[in-house]
Amino acid sequence: MVNRLKRLKSNVPGLDDILCGGFVEGASYILRGRPGAGKTILANQVAFSQAREGNSVMYVTLLAESHERLFEALSTLDFYDAQHVGSNMTYVSLFQTLRSEGLDAVVTMLRKEMARRNPTMLVVDGLLTARDAADDSLDVKTFVAELQANAAFSRCTILLLTSAQPGDASPEHTMVDGVIELHEDYVGARTSRRLQVTKSRGSGALAGLHQYTITQTGMSVFPRLEALLAHPSMLDAAPPERLASGVDGLDDLIGGGIPAASVTLAMGPSGTGKTTLGLSFLKLATPEQPAVMLGFSESPQRLLRKATAIGIDLESLVASGAVTLLWRPLTESLADKLAYELLDAVAAVNACRVVVDGYSALERTILDKTRIVEFFSALGNELKGRGVTLLATWETRNLFGLSAESPTPEISGIVDNLLLLQQHPAGADLRRVVGILKIRDGVYPSSMYEIAVGQGGLHVRGKFDVSNPSVDELRAPAPRVE
C-alpha cells in the first residue's frame, strides 16, 4: 500500500497544481526571489488562507520593516482580513532580538512562542538577514534545523523567505524539503514573472517555469499548459458525427460538415471573411448546445454590430446563453492565462462549439516562442477531449493571390482541418475564395471556391473561375459594416 503525503493547500490559483496538491504538511520550504518579486505577498496569501480555514499561523519577521508598514501594504489586497490578525494569526518581530542578541536568542524566542501558540504554519520572513547575522554557514544550518525540530512535533509547515538571487547555491537548501523560486525577467519592454519549483523532496512538482501575476486579488500562477495538460483531462472519444459549419454550400464540399470534436484552422489575410466564418459557425449554437468565442480585435459591441449587418442575431444568442463572448484586447496578456480562461468558460456552459478569432494573436502572447507548437497542441487536445469543435482563425501576410505562407511551422500539422481564405484579382474585382487544404480522414475537392458575405454569413458561390462571369452574377453585394 502506498502512503500519500498529507497536503496543505495554498489556495493560490495555480500553485497547488504545480505542487501536485499543495505544500506537504509538516515540511519546510524556502521561498526566494529578488526584492519585489512577491515573496511576502505569496506567503501572506497562503497564511491568510490557512487562517480562514481555522488554522493557527505564526508570521515571524527578521526585517527592519515595521508590521504597521506591512499591514498597510497588505490591506490593499483582497485576501487581507484584519479580523484574523491577533486571533489565529500572530505576527512577531524578532529583528531587534537578532540584532542585539544573535541567532541563538531568536531560536529561543521562537521555541517559546511556538510552544505557546502551537501553529500549523510558521512563516519566517528574512532568512537572508539571519544569514548576515551568522558567523558562518553552519550557524544558518543550525538555525534552520532548530526550526524544523520545533515544528516537527506539531506537523507545522514552514515557509522561509529570502531575497537571495534565484539560482544561487545556499547551504540551507540541502536541509529543506522544497525550494520555490520567483524569477523576474524582461522580454522586450515588458516584465515576465515566472515561478519555478527547484526542489521537492519526496513529492512531485510540475517542472519548468510558470508565469504568475500579482493583482488586487494577490498572486495567481498559470502552470504551463503543455505541462499541466500533457495528456488531456478527458479521453478523446473521436465521435463520428459532423457539425454544420453555418456556411451555405461548404458542408457539401467537406463530407457533410466539420468533424465533431476537431480543430479547424482558417487562415488568410485581413478582409477575407475569417471573422464572418466564425460568426457563421456561432449562429448555429443553442442554449442546449452552446458556444464560446474568444476574440482579440473586435470588442463585443463591434462584433454584435457586424453580426447584425450580415443578418446574424448574435445579440439574442448571447442573451439566451447560447453564445458566450470573451474579448481580450491584445495588450500584455499571458497565453496560459487566456487558455485557462477559455477552458473555464467552456466548462461553465459545457460548450460544444468554440471560435478563437485570432490564433495568431494568441501566439503573440507566448513569450517563449519554443513553446508555440506544444501550447497549441495541448489546447487543441484538451478541447477535443471535452468534445468541443474548435474553429480558429490565423492572420497571414499575403493580401492577394491563391497562395499563402503557412503559419508558424508545424501548426498546420497539429490541426485536423485546414482552410485557406484569400482574395484574388479578377479584372477590376477582388473575389473572395476558399480552398480546402485538409480535412482529416475526409474526402474534399482540391479546387478553389468563390465565397461571398451575405445575409446569414458566408456563402459558397461555386467553383472559382477567373474567366467565368456567371460567378460574378451570382455574387451578392457585400453588406456595409459601419
Q: Which residue has the cell 522580454?
A: 187
pLDDT value of residue 171: 75
| Distance (Å, whole) CA 248 – CA 280 | 9
| Distance (Å, whole) CA 230 – CA 385 | 12
| Distance (Å, whole) CA 242 – CA 255 | 8
pLDDT value of residue 167: 59
477 DSSP assignment: P
What H or E segment, with its residue span, contains residue 303?
helix 300-309
Inform me whether the pLDDT recorded for 166 exceeds 70: no
| Contact in structure between 396 and 407 (CB atoms under 8 Å) | yes
Inform me whether the pLDDT recorded for 4 exceeds 80: no
Share of the chain above pLDDT 70, in %: 93
Inform me whether the pLDDT recorded for 84 exceeds 90: yes
Cell of 137: 554557514
Give helix then strand counts, H and E, for the chain: 17, 22
pLDDT value of residue 441: 83
Predicted TM-score of the model (pTM):
0.90
Per residue in 254-263, pLDDT tens? Answer: 999 999 999 9
Name beta bridge partners: 85.
89
| Distance (Å, whole) CA 181 – CA 369 | 22
Which of 87-91, 189-193, 312-316, 410-414 has the weakest average pLDDT? 410-414
| Distance (Å, whole) CA 447 – CA 433 | 10
Inform me whether the pLDDT recorded for 482 exceeds 50: no
Q: What is the residue-averaged pLDDT of the chain?
A: 90
Per residue in 263-321, pLDDT tens? Answer: 999 999 998 999 999 999 999 999 999 999 999 999 999 999 999 999 999 999 999 99
| Distance (Å, whole) CA 176 – CA 117 | 23
Cell of 70: 506591512
Classified as helix, coil or strand, 82 is helix
Inform me whether the pLDDT recorded for 470 exceeds 50: no
What's the average model confidence in pLDDT over 161-175? 76
| Distance (Å, whole) CA 85 – CA 189 | 39
Inform me whether the pLDDT recorded for 472 exceeds 50: no
Q: What are phi and psi of 241, to 5 degrees?
A: -65, 165
Task: Please state, in angstroms and as integers, the Cα–Cα distance from residue 453 to each residue in 63, 192, 207, following that order.
Answer: 66, 41, 48
Inform me whether the pLDDT recorded for 247 exceeds 70: yes
Look at strands 89-93 and 57-61 and give their pairing.
Answer: parallel
pLDDT value of residue 473: 43
What's the average model confidence in pLDDT over 126-144? 83
Residue of 287 and 141 predicted with greater confidence: 287
What's the average model confidence in pLDDT over 164-189? 83
Which of 259-273, 395-409, 455-469 has the weakest average pLDDT? 395-409
What's the average model confidence in pLDDT over 362-373? 93
| Distance (Å, whole) CA 150 – CA 2 | 28
| Distance (Å, whole) CA 28 – CA 14 | 20
How sure is the predictor about 475, in pLDDT bands with cuts at 50, 70 and 90?
very low
pLDDT value of residue 407: 65
Closest CA to 42 of 183, 182, 243: 182
How sure is the predictor about 76, in pLDDT bands with cuts at 50, 70 and 90?
very high
What's the average model confidence in pLDDT over 237-245? 93
Look at strands 448-454 and 429-439 and give their pairing.
Answer: antiparallel
Which residues of the chain are in CATH 3.40.50.300 domains? 7-223, 242-463
Alpha helices, DSSP H, located in 365-482: 372-385, 411-414, 469-474
pLDDT value of residue 203: 80
What is the sign, positive or negative, of the torsion defined by CA atoms of 131, 133, 137, 143? Answer: negative
Residue type, 279: L
Angle at 214 between CA 27 and CA 43, to 5 degrees: 25
Per residue in 35-67, pLDDT tens? Answer: 999 999 999 999 999 999 999 999 999 987 889
- Residue 242: CB atoms within 10 A of its CB come to 17
What H or E segment, with its residue span, contains residue 356?
strand 353-357
Classified as helix, coil or strand, 165 is coil
What H or E segment, with its residue span, contains residue 422?
strand 417-426
Q: Kindly report the CATH number that applies to the domain delimited by 7-223.
A: 3.40.50.300
Inform me whether the pLDDT recorded for 242 exceeds 50: yes
Q: What's domain 242-463's architecture? A: 3-Layer(aba) Sandwich (3.40)
